[in-house]
């Protein structure tokens, strides 16, 4: 037998005509979709293929998560009760206590979570604030996704200020302190690009990812107009070097941006980290002027709900390409893009605008499929089910009480389907999961390894102090002692 033939399912194509094909058929040869139509039309034409009967199931494009974080799968819930301190807890942990094995373990666990939820392409920023001083971190993460058979966009780039930036390395088994200059971060990013970009038959990509597009202002929140005034020398140097490196290796750029940064970045139009090869996450509180700049430059935007200060409707009305992302998975998120999309819809049309006519299910589903593919520059390969495109497919088992009755399939996808309803996943024409069973990994061994590495990290970093009790019987969280972020370890070469 050559290839696969999916028959008798309802196909939600998200193609140019947005066809929904009842009792559909979809034929796969090698890594491509070669035919699509009704089951009756395709079965005589593809008798040589292995048949997968999809009665009672939806056949949809593999979901795309254009912004998530590597490492978070093995640190989730820690510091979740102290939201204002969360970055101050996890960033020192990532910069001073993680090992190379940790990143392979996180790749397995996060990859399995995405796979089982029908996410066939996921972006993974190496830590909360990107870390590229040790290329093996990203290489190990990509290795796990490659073994699972998924597509991954590995995101590496320079940290935020200060430069040089202190890190602790554990290659010898002992903590060793180093101070990493900006150029060393660029060199580390280039090493990752050289090692894994285009690997695994093209399933692994690398995007160049500075922490934010303007490092001199508030890195994780909006800056007021009196703070976001003029670019500094560091801002201009980062933009220039990131632009030069991206051109050298022909890779795309991804970063965070918040109010004030887009207007500032545009002061250096030649090197600004804006344009069709860029997608920016968050964009909280940006002004009308900044939205106009995004539209003028063709910059793409990604949004993780709830993010109610992100003006997504205003941006979309200006024609700015925008997708929904998980920002997963810590402190309390997940890689279930169906639930994430549902939250985006409810946040906008119920909580924020009190208008149920905004962002109908069809548009929301586009934002985790074809719109997300456009944001990452892959719309010609993935994001919809069309002849000639890559065979990246998720099959949903609709024969469940919470998904009955079987009608209005796109409404079902956005209103009721869960990641756990995914039955079968195909990437590049290969079955990665069938009838709920992952075929490319020993799940128990991967989870055991992940648990082992997570516990070891907690012990090294002293994170027990941030694993709080659940607050039984309390209406408000209280603490007996002040909560302090982790401190760098005592190092052998200090």
- 28 belongs to a structural domain: yes
Q: Give the residue from 418, 438, 458 where a domain finishes.
A: 438
**The domain spanning residue 341 has which CATH number?**
3.20.20.140
SS3 198: coil
Tally of structural domains, the chain: 2
Same domain assignment for residues 86 and 162: yes
The pLDDT of residue 1 is 57
Q: State how far the Cα of 17 lies from the Cα of 124, in Å rounded to an integer.
A: 32
Q: Dig out the tokens for 114 from the structure.
A: 């995405």
Contacts of 47 (CB under 8 A, 6+ apart): none
The verdict on residue 444 lying in a domain is no
In a domain, 486, yes or no: no
pLDDT the model gives residue 493? 64
Please indicate, yes or no, whether residues 68 and 51 belong to a single structural domain of this protein: no
Q: Please report the pLDDT score of residue 345 as a whole number.
A: 83
Q: Which of 422, 438, 454 is the last residue of a domain?
A: 438
Write out the residue range of the structural domain in which residue 187 sits: 63-375
Residues 192 and 273 in one domain: yes
The answer to the question of residue 231 being in a domain is yes
Dihedral angle at the C-alpha atoms of 182, 98, 273, 300, nearest 10 degrees? 170
Same domain, 360 and 340: yes
- The pLDDT, as a whole number, for residue 350 is 66
One digit per residue, the tens of pLDDT, for the chain of length 494 reads 589 999 999 999 999 999 999 999 999 999 999 999 999 999 999 999 999 999 999 999 999 999 999 999 999 999 999 888 899 999 999 999 999 999 999 999 999 999 999 999 999 999 999 999 999 999 999 999 999 999 999 999 999 999 999 999 999 999 999 999 999 999 999 999 999 999 999 999 999 999 999 999 998 888 989 998 999 999 999 999 999 999 999 999 999 999 999 999 999 999 999 999 999 999 999 999 999 999 999 999 999 998 768 999 999 999 999 999 999 898 989 999 999 999 988 876 666 667 778 889 999 999 999 999 999 999 999 999 999 999 999 999 999 999 999 999 999 999 999 999 999 999 999 999 999 999 999 999 999 999 999 999 999 999 999 998 899 999 998 887 888 899 999 987 64
Residue 138 and residue 10 in one domain: no
Q: Are 55 and 76 contained in the same domain?
A: no
For residue 293, give both structure tokens.
């700049």
51 inside domain: yes
pLDDT at 50: 97
Q: What is the dihedral of CA 38, 44, 45, 48, to 10 degrees?
A: 120
**Shared domain check, 43 and 80:** no
Nearest CA among 46, 271, 278 for reference residue 155? 278
What is the reported pTM?
Answer: 0.97
Same-domain pairing of 312 and 427: no
Chain centroid to Cα 489, Å, comes to 30
Kindly state the tokens that stand for 487: 């401190």
What pLDDT does 235 receive?
98
Same domain, 29 and 133: no
Decide if 76 is inside a domain. Answer: yes
Residue with tokens 């999916």: 6
418 shares its domain with 288: no
Enter the tokens of residue 107: 């790749």
Q: Are 32 and 388 in contact (CB under 8 A)?
A: yes
Domain shared by 47 and 114, yes or no: no
Does the residue 451 lie in any domain?
no
Pick from 384, 421, 430, 419: which is nearest to 12 by CA?
384
* Residue 456: inside a domain: no
Question: Which own/partner pairs from 456-462 qualify as long-range (CB within 8 Å, at least 24 positions apart)?
Answer: 456/99, 456/102, 457/74, 457/75, 457/93, 457/97, 457/98, 457/102, 458/78, 460/97, 460/489, 461/92, 461/93, 461/96, 461/97, 461/486, 462/486
User: In which residue are the tokens 């994780």 written?
Assistant: 220
CATH number, residue 43: 2.30.40.10
**Is the domain of 211 the same as that of 313?**
yes
């Amino acid at each position: 037998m050559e290839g696969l033939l999916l028959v008798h399912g309802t196909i939600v194509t998200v193609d140019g005509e947005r066809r929904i094909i009842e009792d559909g058929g979809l034929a796969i040869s090698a890594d491509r979709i070669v035919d699509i139509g009704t089951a009756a039309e395709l079965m005589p034409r593809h008798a040589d293929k292995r048949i997968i009967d999809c009665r009672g199931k939806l056949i949809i494009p593999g979901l795309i998560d254009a912004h998530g974080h590597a490492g978070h799968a093995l640190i989730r819930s820690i510091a979740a009760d102290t939201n204002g301190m969360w970055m101050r807890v996890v960033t020192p942990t990532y910069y001073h206590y993680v090992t190379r094995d940790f990143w392979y373990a996180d790749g397995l666990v996060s990859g399995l979570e995405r796979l089982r939820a029908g996410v066939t392409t996921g972006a993974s920023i190496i830590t909360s604030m990107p870390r590229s001083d040790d290329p093996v971190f990203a290489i190990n993460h990509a290795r796990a996704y490659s073994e699972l058979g998924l597509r991954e966009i590995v995101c590496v780039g320079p940290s935020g200020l200060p430069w040089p930036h202190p890190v602790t390395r554990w290659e010898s088994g002992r903590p060793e302190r180093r101070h990493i200059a900006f150029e060393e971060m660029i060199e580390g990013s280039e090493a990752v690009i050289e090692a894994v970009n285009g690997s695994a038959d093209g399933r692994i990509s690398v995007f160049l990812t500075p922490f934010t597009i303007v490092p001199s202002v508030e890195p994780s929140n909006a800056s007021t107009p009196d703070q976001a005034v003029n670019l500094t020398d560091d801002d201009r140097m980062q933009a220039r070097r990131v632009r030069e490196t991206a051109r050298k290796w022909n890779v795309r750029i991804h970063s965070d941006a918040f109010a004030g940064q887009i207007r500032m970045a545009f002061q250096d139009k030649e090197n600004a980290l804006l344009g069709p090869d860029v997608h920016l996450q968050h964009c909280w509180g940006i002004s009308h002027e900044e939205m106009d700049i995004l539209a003028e430059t063709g910059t793409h935007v990604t949004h993780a709900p709830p993010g109610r200060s992100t003006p997504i409707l205003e941006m979309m009305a200006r024609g700015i390409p925008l997708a929904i992302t998980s920002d997963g998975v810590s402190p309390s998120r997940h890689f279930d893009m169906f639930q994430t999309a549902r939250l985006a819809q409810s946040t906008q049309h119920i909580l924020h605008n009190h208008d149920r006519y905004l962002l109908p299910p069809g548009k929301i589903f586009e934002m985790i499929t074809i719109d997300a593919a456009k944001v990452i520059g892959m719309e010609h390969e993935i994001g919809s089910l069309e002849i000639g495109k890559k065979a990246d497919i998720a099959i949903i088992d609709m024969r469940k009480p919470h998904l009955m009755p079987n009608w209005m399939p796109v409404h079902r996808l956005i209103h009721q389907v869960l990641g756990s309803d995914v039955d079968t996943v195909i990437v590049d024409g290969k079955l990665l999961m069938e009838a709920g069973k992952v075929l490319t990994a020993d799940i128990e061994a991967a989870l055991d390894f992940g648990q082992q590495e997570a516990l070891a990290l907690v012990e090294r970093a002293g994170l027990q102090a941030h694993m709080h009790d659940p607050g039984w019987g309390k209406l408000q969280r209280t603490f007996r002692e002040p909560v302090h972020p982790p401190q760098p370890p005592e190092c052998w070469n200090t």
